[in-house]
Amino acid sequence: MRTIDATLRGAVAGAGDDLTLTLDPAFQGLPDAAHGGSVLALFETLASRRGARTVRGHYLRRVPLGVPLVLTLTHEADALGCRVADHTGAVLVTGRVGAAERTDGKSSDAPGADAAPLPVSLTCFACGIDNPHGLRARLTFDARAVGGAWTPPAEFRDHDGGLATIALTTLLDEAAFWLGALASGESGMTTELTVTLHGDPIAAGAIVVVGERAATRPRADDPRYWETRLHARDQAGRPLATAAITFAAMRGAARRLVTGLLALNPPDVVRRVFPAYCA
């Protein structure tokens, strides 16, 4: 069986620090674009850093799937810098993997048993019901939080039982997207991701990801940008990762997304998130 880490590593070709990146369509987030969590995990994988570490990604444009991109690595004193550009030289994402940054360490409970489901899609790497390599996560929300529990299949473990980083970065990024969508009523994209991994997690039992809605705030200088705070822990309550992720709301972008979601989800499920686009 091919692990998800092997699929992610297989996206990179070439030698040295100037490489070619061709992301598998399985890593889709929004239509025709890579999931932010998958690109962040690629940077972490390339750094090959053990123990606690912080991974940053700044998304300037959507990252296409199935086409060759230019991946450039820069080795710093105690970090790895990453940059992805298209064939014209336009920078799509910049990133950095380095020593763990301090986080607040706070945790909270996932939404309760009576929480409302969030919409699912066909091919999204996080929630796609027809993506054979995806997480097929089912997140929920209530008045307090967005989150849920997810049990890693074998594809997301290595031979030592370790959990693939991409599972954590994707779950956190997915939850941040829905926090931003619920707060703004709009679709959009996550643009600045900072994920601190608290060690080398072992995939024992379910992974719980949570983001509190009250902590989701618009930027004072530009209310299109919503700052979110999230964390992930294992079933025993041990912290796995903490994230600060920015969601950029794009007015009108939900119109196309809602059309696809309504083909798979009951109208009430979609309407709770995008009331202005779902009569």
Tell me the pLDDT band of 113, cut-offs 50, 70 and 90. confident
Closest CA to 227 of 236, 218, 240: 218
pLDDT for position 27: 98
Whether 116-277 and 4-99 are alike in CATH topology: the answer is: yes
Share the mean pLDDT of the chain: 94
Residue 107: pLDDT over 80: no
Q: What is the pLDDT of residues 265-274, one digit of tens each?
A: 999 999 999 9
pTM for the model stands at: 0.96
Confidence of residue 279 (pLDDT cuts 50, 70, 90): confident
**217-265 pLDDT tens trace:** 999 999 999 999 999 999 888 999 999 999 999 999 999 999 999 999 9
* Distance, CA of 242 to CA of 244 (rounded, Å): 7
Residue 263 identity: A
Which residues face 33 on adjacent strands?
Answer: none
Mean pLDDT of 82-92: 97
pLDDT at 170 over 90: yes
Question: What pLDDT score was predicted for residue 105?
Answer: 63
Q: Check if CATH label 2.40.50.140 holds for domain 4-99.
A: no
Question: Which pLDDT tens digit goes with each residue over 10-29?
Answer: 999 998 888 999 999 999 99
Residue 156, classed as helix, strand or coil, is: helix
pLDDT band at 108, cuts 50/70/90? Answer: confident
Say how many C-beta atoms besides its own lie within 10 A of residue 228's C-beta: 26
DSSP E strands, 76-224:
80-85, 91-99, 116-117, 140-141, 145-150, 188-197, 207-212, 217-218
Q: What is the mean pLDDT of residues 38-44?
A: 97
Query: Any bridge partners for residue 168, and if so which?
Result: none
Quickly tell me which residue has 């336009």 as its tokens.
90
> What is the average per-residue pLDDT within 170-186?
98
Give the pairing of strands 188-197 and 207-212.
unpaired
pLDDT score, position 131: 96
Give how far the C-alpha of residue 188 lies from the chain's centroid of Cα atoms, to the nearest Å. 13
DSSP E strand stretches across 86-168: 91-99, 116-117, 140-141, 145-150
Residue 81's pLDDT is 97
Contact 86, 21 (CB under 8 A): no
Give the residue extent of every domain in the chain.
4-99, 116-277
pLDDT at residue 235, rounded to an integer: 87
State mean pLDDT over 93-115: 86
In the chain, what percentage of residues exceed pLDDT 70?
Answer: 97
- List the CATH code of the domain at 116-277: 3.10.129.10
Give residue 177's pLDDT: 98
What pLDDT sits at residue 157?
86
- Which amino acid is present at 103? T
Asked if residue 214 has pLDDT above 80, the reply is: yes
Instruction: Identify each DSSP E strand in 220-270 by its residue range.
Output: 225-234, 239-249
Residue 54 half-sphere exposure, CB side, CA atoms within 13 Å? 14
What the block records as the tokens of 260 is 């696809």
Q: How many CB atoms lie within 10 A of CB 65?
A: 20
Q: CA-CA distance, 145 to 142, in Å (whole number)?
A: 6
- How far apart CA 188 and CA 55 sit, in angstroms, is 22
Which amino acid would we find at residue 111? P
Q: Is the pLDDT of residue 43 over 80?
A: yes
Average pLDDT over residues 128-134: 96
pLDDT at position 136, please?
A: 97
